[in-house]
Structure 1
Amino acid sequence: MSVLAFTACEQTPKPTPQQAAGKMPDSILEHATIVMTSAGLKKAVMLADTLYIFEKEDSSTAIAVKVDFYNDAGQFQSTLTANRGLVRQKRETFTVWGDVVVANDTSRLETQSLDWDAKRGLIATSDFVEFQRRDDILTGYGMEADSRLENVRILRDVKGRISDIPQSEEAIDSLDSPRKESQVPE
């Protein structure tokens, strides 16, 4: 995973949980940018107001997070925002929490925490989720999805309102067609 960081000195940031526990970061960056890659391909770009880097722990704590996700062709897929995040560069993962929103042109996901795994290309949570695609809304607990939000699976207590239910047999049969490999695994 590659890292690019830009800094500018401003006010003293609030202490992180690691600092409160007596662990001081190796670096503190303000207005930081992290470019996350996997196998040489850009997968995500994270912007953070403040980034606390703990090198020995492979841990960076981000405050006020925005992440843009990209596909293998380098095309934009979706944007994630959250209050805080934890980046594990060597593992190619990150976790975000606090008012998490993932959105693109057609879909929006809201939850309180989310994990992203670059190697698997999945985002997941065990928290309550609300997923909206156009006029359809699904809610429940636990979720796995690709970062484009095309293939979303809510794991339990699923409820929803679907406005466009297929009426023809052909449309229903198309729902039963075999899954593509890019879809979320069962």
Structure 2
Amino acid sequence: MNTKRKHNILFIVTVFTVTMFFSCNNSYNEVQQIGLSENEPIGVAENINLKYTDSGRVTANLLSKRMLDYSNREFPFNEFDQGITLYLYDDDNKKSTVVADYAIVYDKTDLIDLQGNVVITTTDDRELKTEQLYYDQKKEWLFTNNPVTFTSETDIINGNGFDSDSKFKNAEVLEVTGIITVEE
């Protein structure tokens, strides 16, 4: 009888251990999320001065007071809630400038959404002003359907929408509402 009891206890312990073993799963992502609110960023960076270099030459310089990192979300993004200033340098080290009151970068789609007093000034003094502008990093393409003012060497063009490559070689104001020719 003693042996039978030991056998039953061993059987119960074995069943319990096997049950516990199979009930465990790889929940590393769930453990990472413990204590994090879904609406809170996973990280905050302040006073950003990020320089991007290519072959030892600075090609871009991003300045921002704050970046919120939401890479913990199903659709990850970085938010620049206090605005950005971005300097882009060409091969001759001439500078173009992008300024916006707010920016958000979506990791999965490589799309950048610039909002609020968006101003782009190119190396050849062309200027684009709008309230919202998107930049597709994969296609290197700028676009918006919002009202714009585009200043070129000879004209100030107002319209509702804008399409252009990142170098402004194929810049087009859509639904033109007015053109002012600048005379020197």
Q: TM-score range by the shorter chain?
A: 0.5 to 0.7
Change (3 A) 1:118 1:75: farther
Using the TM superposition, give the Cα deviation of residue 90 of structure 1 relative to its aligned residue in structure 2, in angstroms.
Answer: 3.9
TM-superposition CA deviations, 1:52-98 (whole Å, max 9, x none): 11012321110221122356x59556211010000123432211100
Equivalent residue, structure 2, for 1:133:
152
From 95, 102, 110, give the equivalent of 1:84.
102
CA contact (8 A) 1:77 1:148 kept: no
Gaps of 5+ in 1: 1-20, 165-186
Q: Secondary structure at the match of 1:149?
A: coil
The offset of 1:155, in angstroms, is: 1.5
Residue aligned with 1:23, SS: coil
**Partner of residue 79, structure 2:** 61
* Aligned sequence identity (%): 22
2:123 is the alignment partner of 1:107: no
**Helix, strand or coil: the match of 1:55?**
coil
Q: How many pairs were matched up?
A: 141
* Change in CA separation of 1:122 and 1:43 when aligned onto 2, cut-off 3 Å: farther
- The one-letter code matched in structure 2 to 1:46 is L
Q: Which fold has the larger relative contact order, with Cα–Cα distance below 8 Å and residues 6 or more apart in sequence?
A: 1
- Give the match's secondary structure for 1:160: strand
Task: Could you tell me which runs of 5 or more consecutive residues in structure 2 were left unpaired when the two chains were aligned.
Answer: 1-36
Distance 2:182 2:126 in 1: 15
> Aligned partners of 2:162 and 2:174: how far apart in 1?
6
Is 1:119–2:146 an aligned residue pair? no
CA distance in 1, matches of 2:146, 2:93: 29
Q: Secondary structure at the match of 1:87?
A: strand
1:53 & 1:47 partners in 2: Cα distance? 16
Deviation at 1:141, TM superposition (A): 0.4
Q: Give the Å deviation of 1:108.
A: 0.7
CA positional deviation for 1:48:
1.3
Q: Decide whether aligned partners of structure 1 residues 121 and 83 sit closer, same or farther in structure 2, where only a CA change above 3 A counts.
A: same
More strand by share: 1
Larger helix proportion of the pair:
2
In structure 1, the partner of 2:25 is none
TM-score norm. by structure 2 comes to: 0.65
Equivalence for 1:144: 163
Q: CA deviation at 1:163?
A: 4.3
Given that 2:149 and 2:159 are in contact with CA atoms closer than 8 Å, whether structure 1 keeps it comes out as: yes
